[in-house]
Amino acid sequence: MAAIWLRNPADILADGARGGIVVEGPWIKELVPAGARPQEEVAVVIDASEHVVLPGLINVHHHLYQGLAGGAGAGLAEAREGWLRAHMGRWARLDGAALRLAARRALVQLAKGGCTTVVDHQDALPAGLDDAVDIVVEAARDVGLRLVVAVGGQDLAVEEGGSLPASQTCSAEAILEACTRAIRRHHQPAPGAMTQVALGPASPLAASRWLFEEMAALASLHDVRLHTHLAATADEASRCRQRFHAGLVDYLDAVGWLQPRTWLAHAAHLPAPDHGRLREQGLAVAYCPSAELMRGAGVAPTAAMARMGLPIGLGSDGIAGGDDGTFKAELRLALLSQRGARGAAALDPRRVLHWATAGGADCLGRTDIGRLAPGCAADLALYRLDPWHADGTDDPLSALVASGLPPADRVMVAGRWVVVDRALAALDEAALAATLDAERRRLHAHIA
C-alpha cells in the first residue's frame, strides 16, 4: 500500500516526531524527527504545518441508541431518576430502523470530532430487538470507526430496585445468550481489531447478582472485557450499600468483577480507600464529565485516582444526557471540572490528552491504539491551529485542550481517511440529516 507522510506538523502528541509521521496501510510505519525525511520513499505527502496531530480519540463510555435524542432537554431539570423516566418511552419504542439512524448520527458526530474508537454500552434496549449488536456494528462499519459493543441489559425491574418497568427488562438467560451470540459473530481479538465485544450489565442496582457472576465467567471463557456503571451518584452508592449490606467494591469482589478485565463508568462516589483497591486489582475508570455535571452528580475525584495509578479514560455517556455528541468537548470539561473542584494543580491539559487517547486504550486492554508509535494502528486526528480559535504557539497541544478542540480537519482510521476537510468521506451528510429529521418526528409522534 502507498505510504503517506504527514509532514512537519505544528505539534504532535509523540516524542521525536516534529518532522511528521509515516503511515503505510493500517499501521504507523515511522516517526520522523524534526528536519529529517522518511527513511524510505513515500507516495503521498500531506503538509501538516498548520495542524496539531493527535492519536484518534477514544470514547470509552457511550450509549449509541440515544443518538436521536441529541440536545434533548427532557428531564435535564431533574435528578438522574427523573431524567431516566423522561426518556424511557422513547427508548422503549426504538425499532431496528430507528436504532440504525441513532447509531449513525452518534458515530458521525464522533468522527467529525476526531474520535476513532467508541464503546457502545447497550444497557437499556427494548426487549425483542435481538439484532441490536448487528445494527450498530454495521453502522460503525459504514462510518469507518472502531467499535467496542458492551452487550448487557437489565434483568431487574423497578419493583425489584431497578430503573426500568418490567416490560423493558430481559431475562438474565436472554441477556447471556445475546452476549454469547455477539462474541461469536463480532469479537475480533487480534491487534488492529475494528470490532470487539465486552459484557456490560447496566449496574448493580439494575442487574441481578447471578447475571453479574455469569458474565464474569463468560468473560473469562472468551477472554473479553467487563463494563458497568458504578456509583454514578451519591444516592445510587447509598442504595447499593443498603441492598448489599456491603461496599460497592466488596460487591464487585464477591461477584468476580474485581479484576483487570473490568473498567467502570463514573465510580464518582466511592470512598477513597476503594480507589486503592481498584488500582491494586487492575481496574480502570471512565470519567464522563459532561453527563456528571449536567445531572448534578458532582465532580468525581478522577485526578486523584489517576495520581494513585488508576488508568483513566474519557467517556461522553449518551447524548440524551446533554453533551454535544462530538466527544471532543469532554476534554475541556474534564480539565475545567477537575481544576474547578480541586485546584489548578489538580490536572494539566497534557494529562487530559493522555486520558482521551492512551488512557482510553488502557481501559480497553489495547496497546495497538491510542498512541502514535511505529507498529500502532494508523488512527489519527488533525486539528487546524486557527488564530481565531487558539493558535497556542508556545504549547499548541495544551492550548487546544484549554480552549476546546475545534472540529477535526482530517480523521484517519486504520490508514483510511474517514473525515477530509471536516466532511465525511463515506456518507452523504445532507441525506443522512434529512432522514434523521424524519425519523425523529416519527418517533416523537409514536410516543405521543
216 or 428, higher pLDDT: 216
pLDDT tens, residue by residue, 251-281: 999 999 999 999 999 999 999 999 999 999 9
Q: How many CB atoms lie within 10 A of CB 192?
A: 17
CA distance 175 to 155: 8
pLDDT tens, residue by residue, 310-349: 999 999 998 655 557 889 999 999 999 999 999 999 999 9
**pLDDT band at 77, cuts 50/70/90?**
low
**Exposed/middle/buried for 439, CB within 10 Å: 0-12, 13-18, 19+?**
middle
Mean pLDDT along residues 43-72: 90
pLDDT tens, residue by residue, 356-370: 999 999 999 999 999
Mean pLDDT along residues 11-25: 98
**Tell me, what's the pLDDT at 295?**
82
Output the pTM of the full model: 0.96
Closest CA to 208 of 265, 168, 167, 160: 160
pLDDT at 406 over 80: yes
Residues 6+ apart with CB under 8 A from 199: 150, 151, 152, 179, 215, 218, 219, 224, 225, 226, 227
Q: How do strand 423-424 and strand 44-47 relate by DSSP bridges?
A: unpaired
Closest CA to 8 of 54, 40, 50, 56: 50
* Helix H or strand E encompassing 120: strand 115-122
Q: Could you tell me which residues are beta bridge partners of residue 216?
A: none
CA distance 192 to 19: 25
**Tell me, what's the pLDDT at 226?**
99
DSSP string, 149-179: EEEEE---BGGGT-SB-GGG---HHHHHHHH
Retrieve residue 304's grid coordinates.
486523584
pLDDT tens, residue by residue, 33-46: 999 999 999 999 99
What length is written for the chain? 448
pLDDT tens, residue by residue, 415-442: 999 999 999 998 888 888 888 777 777 7
- Percentage of residues in the chain having pLDDT higher than 70: 92
Same-fold call for 3-55+369-424 versus 57-363: no
Q: Where are the alpha helices (DSSP H) in 223-348?
A: 234-244, 248-254, 272-280, 289-294, 302-307, 329-342
CA distance 360 to 354: 8
pLDDT averaged over the chain?
91
146 or 434, higher pLDDT: 146
- The SS3 call for residue 91 is helix
**Tell me, what's the pLDDT at 343?**
97
Q: How many CB atoms lie within 10 A of CB 8?
A: 18
Domain boundaries, the chain: 3-55+369-424, 57-363
Q: How many CB atoms lie within 10 A of CB 407?
A: 15
Query: CA–CA distance from 128 to each of 92, 125, 170, 318, 340 (Å)?
Result: 10, 9, 9, 21, 44
**Tell me, what's the pLDDT at 279?**
98
CATH of domain 57-363: 3.20.20.140
Angle made by CA atoms 18, 20, 23, in degrees to the nearest 5: 150
CATH of domain 3-55+369-424: 2.30.40.10
239 or 379, higher pLDDT: 379
**Tell me, what's the pLDDT at 437?**
78
392 or 144, higher pLDDT: 144
Whether residue 143 contacts residue 108, with contact meaning beta carbons closer than 8 Å, is answered with yes
**Tell me, what's the pLDDT at 81?**
62
**Tell me, what's the pLDDT at 320?**
57
